[in-house]
Amino acid sequence: MRHRHVLLAATILAFAAPAVAGPTEDFNALTDQYWAFTLRENPTFASGLGVHDYDDQLGDISLAAEDRRAAQAAQFLARLDRIPDAGLSPADRINKAILRRTLGESVEANRFGQRVMLFSNRGGWHQNLAGLAEGLTFRTRADYDNYLKRLAQYPALNDEALRISNQAIAGG
């Protein structure tokens, strides 16, 4: 009886487990997932690229969101490091090295106080909102409705930015 259960469990696992992919497929899947994550976490960037899935969102600038993004970057990095260079094309090896550096910098940067510096003499959250309409298309009622939804989110985003900026000032 026990052998039947083991055999049944092994059969279920064999069919439930995905087929083992090669390095190229693993790398392509990872980069696709990372790109989708990037667009989801940067909705105004996505809109500017013509991806309209997040047109009614501004994004989350909270430190908790930064921690979550850094943790996700660390997970992507761990997966990337498990993909062997052997079997990747020369272009994919270069792209892997670039992605590795990008992810590593995201994880590392989140450990430092600069993460609370949300503005400089070159720009900030307030200027991003002021120029938001320039990168959007206004062809349908939904386009205008989504823009208004984003504008309605600004007071909360501004409050969060001011909280973080006050932390930066307090921290010197």
DSSP 106-167: HHHHTTSGGGG---BTTB-HHHHHHTGGGG----SHHHHHHHHHHHHHHHHHHHHHHHHHHH
> Would you state the pLDDT for residue 47?
94
- Given a cut of 50, whether residue 18 has pLDDT beyond it is no
Q: Helix, strand or coil for residue 105?
A: helix
> Would you state the pLDDT for residue 22?
92
Render pLDDT for 147-166 as a digit per residue (tens, 0 to 9). 999 999 999 999 999 999 99
> What Å distances lie between residue 151 and 3, 48, 54, CA to CA?
63, 16, 14
> Would you state the pLDDT for residue 17?
40
Residue 9 or residue 133, greater confidence: 133
Q: Considering the entire predicted model, what is its pTM? A: 0.81
- Given a cut of 90, whether residue 12 has pLDDT beyond it is no
Render pLDDT for 82-135 as a digit per residue (tens, 0 to 9). 999 999 999 999 999 999 999 999 999 999 988 999 998 888 998 888 888 998
> Would you state the pLDDT for residue 83?
96
Mean pLDDT of 134-153: 94
